[in-house]
Structures are given as structure tokens and as C-alpha cells.
A and B are shown apart, each in its own frame.
Chain A
Amino acid sequence: MAKLLFLGQLEDIAGAPDLTVPLQGPTTLADILLMLPPILGDALSGPKVKLALNGTLVTSADLILIDADELAFLPPVSGG
């Protein structure tokens, strides 16, 4: 299983701050997004969404998740 975390407005689209997805072995990000409702999958794969795998920023190209991974989806920030 892998855990997906949704920050900012992505939480509203997902309807929850996180989601656990079952994995049958190492799974590409593209395949994980296909398991989700299309509206959520589209929002998560937007060009401005950054990714953190187990707390470290990564690029989405060819990302593969394994059991117990935690992947955070980070939309554009707005602080201060």
C-alpha cells in the first residue's frame, strides 16, 4: 500500500487529506493516477503540482512507488 497526501485545494478535490492505495508490487505514478476518479487524476497531474516522495521533492517523470511509500501532491503555494 502507498499513501497519497493532498495539500491545499487538492484536498477539496480529493474529498480527504489523504488516501491509501493498494499496490501489487512497484507501480508507476501514471498507473496510480488511473486508479483515481478522473477529475482527481487530472488535478494531481497538472503542470503546477509538485511532488514529495517520503518528504523529499521529486520529479514526476518515471516515478515508481513501492510499498509503504508516501507521496504528497503540492499545488502552487500562497503564504504570508
Chain B
Amino acid sequence: MADVRLALEPFDPAAELTAFAAAHGGAGGIVSFLGQVRAGEGVEALELRHFPPLTLPGMQALAQTTRDRWPLAGLCIIHRSGVMHPGDPIVFVATAARHRRDAFAAADFAMDHLKSDAWFWKREQAAGHWRWIEPREQDHADLARWGRG
């Protein structure tokens, strides 16, 4: 079973990693990724919006695809929605596997799909003004590395 959550409030990635590692104490390797709000460039806040009928079901489908593709002992995906500030966690992915390469690849795959294929919309505030963030070409290039399906 994968642990997939849409977090509407701040979460503690260190505590999540500790709990994940404890729950998968028999796995040989655990990989985790934390995405957090960048500081600098005058950004005061970041907001992620989601669409309830699609966002969490889409994340759950991504978790299933990831598990079908690599032999994982465990998978955790947490993605924030709401207003965040520099340094706040946005997204957390952890994978547990018998061998490290599966854990690295599965976490990389899940992150690429969360960045450009999950139902989130992002805007940032600078100088008191909100601006929507367009998808980056690099994100789509990252996704293409995995082929379809």
C-alpha cells in the first residue's frame, strides 16, 4: 500500500521520513525527496491550488503506476495545497526498496509526474502582487524521459 496525501496544512518532512523508515525497517534502501518554497527573487509567498475531484485520485493513480513499475516495499507521496512561504515544504516523496536503484528511479519518476502531470496550479506573490506560474518546458522534457505509461 502506498501512503498518498493531499496536505491542506503544513507537514513535517523529517517526521514523515522517520516514520516511513521505521515502517519499512526491512528495506535495504530508502530514498526521499523534499521540494520546498525557494527563497529569493522577491518571492513572498507561493500558493498551490487543486481540484478536489481529480487531484488526490490522480496522485493515487500515479502511486499505483510507480508501484507497478518498480519493486517497492513502500511509497509515500505528500503534496501541499494552499499558501506557503519560503522554506515551507511543498512536496515529499519517499520510496523503500530492496535495492537502491529502484528506490532512486521510482522517486525520480514520481516527482517528474507530480511536477508536470498532477492537478495543481501554482502562483507566487512578489511585491504584493500574485502571478500564475506557467508550466516549464523543462518539466515536460523531464516527463518525456519516462516514455508513455
- The residues of A with any CB-CB pair to B shorter than 8 Å are 5, 7-9, 12, 52, 55-57, 72, 74-80
Q: Does any Cβ of A come within 8 Å of B114's Cβ?
A: yes
B116 contacts which chain A residues (CB < 8 A)?
A: 77-79
Chain A residues with CB below 8 A from B122, complex form: 78-79
How many B residues touch A, CB cutoff 8 Å?
Answer: 26
Give A27 to B95 CA distance when docked, in angstroms.
Answer: 48
In the complex, chain B residues whose CB is within 8 Å of the CB of A79: 48, 79, 91, 114-116, 118-120, 122
Q: How far is the CB of B38 from chain A (nearest CB, A)?
A: 11
Is the CB–CB distance between A80 and B111 below 8 Å? yes
Q: In the complex the two chains form, is A52's CB within 8 Å of B121's CB?
A: no
Which of B7-15, B101-109, B127-135 makes up part of the contact surface? B127-135
Q: How far is A12 from B131 in the complex, measured between Cα atoms in Å?
A: 10
Q: Would you call B90 an interface residue if the criterion is a C-beta within 8 Å of the partner chain's C-beta atoms? A: yes
Contact of A52 among B54, B79, B133 (CB under 8 A): B54
On whether the beta carbons of B53 and A56 are closer than 8 Å, the reply is: yes
User: Given A52-B53, A55-B54, A56-B53: A80 and B134 within 8 A (CB)?
Assistant: no
Partner of B135, one of A5, A56, A78: A78
- CA distance in complex: A79, B79 (Å): 9
**Smallest Cβ distance from A25 to chain B, in angstroms?**
26
In the complex, what residue of chain B is closest to A5 when comparing beta carbons?
A: B51
Kindly list chain B residues whose C-beta atoms are within 8 Å of the C-beta of A55: 53-54
Residue of B nearest to A57 (CB): B54
Contacts A79-B48, A79-B91, A80-B111 given: A8-B121 contact, CB under 8 Å? yes
B43-68 interface code vs A (CB 8 A; 1 in, 0 out):
00000110101100000000000000
